[in-house]
Amino acid sequence: MRAAYTLVRHEARLLASLALWPARRRPGAAAGQVFGYAQGQGATMAGLAFVCVIETFMMSVLLRRWPIPHGVVLALDVYTVVFVVALHAACVVHPHVLTADTLRVRHGVHVDLRIPLETITAVRREVRFTQERAPGRLDVAVGSRTSVTLELAQPVRHMTLLGRRREVTEVRLHADDADALVRALTRADRRAGRA
């Protein structure tokens, strides 16, 4: 029952992102410097949405003589198009946020990890295209790619979509301007006297 509630809540937050996107609102972003990551998936998501629209049209034509299946499939297909657009919107309105003491790593509405800056021992610009699961590592990839690697002195707790807890000591993430994120984290480290 709890899993069903979590999934419904996730869907509601995705759909809310559709309203936030045209309004250019980014929850939690006003607190610091933002780093987007959605550009890397924009073309892919647009292509996927286009394919879903074509599929919706074709199924509508094929099922036009059977009103009940036509209505059901049409509703599911339209929701699929909305869902794909909402996935992209969620990534646009929930960027990574760097504050004076925390890096908030996000991916849409299903990853929201707060990393205290004092726990980051190393940050490097590192493009990786394959992510094999490893204990203690969290990959927050966009288009199967990460561009920044963070090593942590102590574990940070990450909650998965369905509420499972994981302790992570390495985080790989993607940022559209990875160099700017690495520079900002390095400057923050110097200001704190840890360089």
Question: In this structure, what token pair is assigned to residue 119?
Answer: 């726990």
Could you tell me where the DSSP H helices lie in 101-177? none
The count of other CB atoms within 10 Å of the CB of residue 148 is 26
Question: In this structure, what token pair is assigned to residue 80?
Answer: 């699929």
Residues paired with 47 in a beta bridge: none
Closest CA to 173 of 95, 92, 116: 95
pLDDT one-digit tens code per residue, 88-138: 999 999 999 999 889 999 998 889 999 999 999 999 999 988 777 888 899
Distance CA 32, CA 23 (A): 19
Residue 194 confidence (pLDDT) = 52
Question: In this structure, what token pair is assigned to residue 40?
Answer: 């890397």
The count of other CB atoms within 10 Å of the CB of residue 129 is 9
Residue 57 confidence (pLDDT) = 92
Which segments of the chain have a pLDDT < 70? 1, 189-195
For the chain, domains (ranges, CATH) are 2-30+38-93 (no CATH), 96-191 (2.30.29)
Query: Angle of helix 67-93 relative to helix 2-20, nearest 10 degrees?
Result: 70
pTM: 0.83
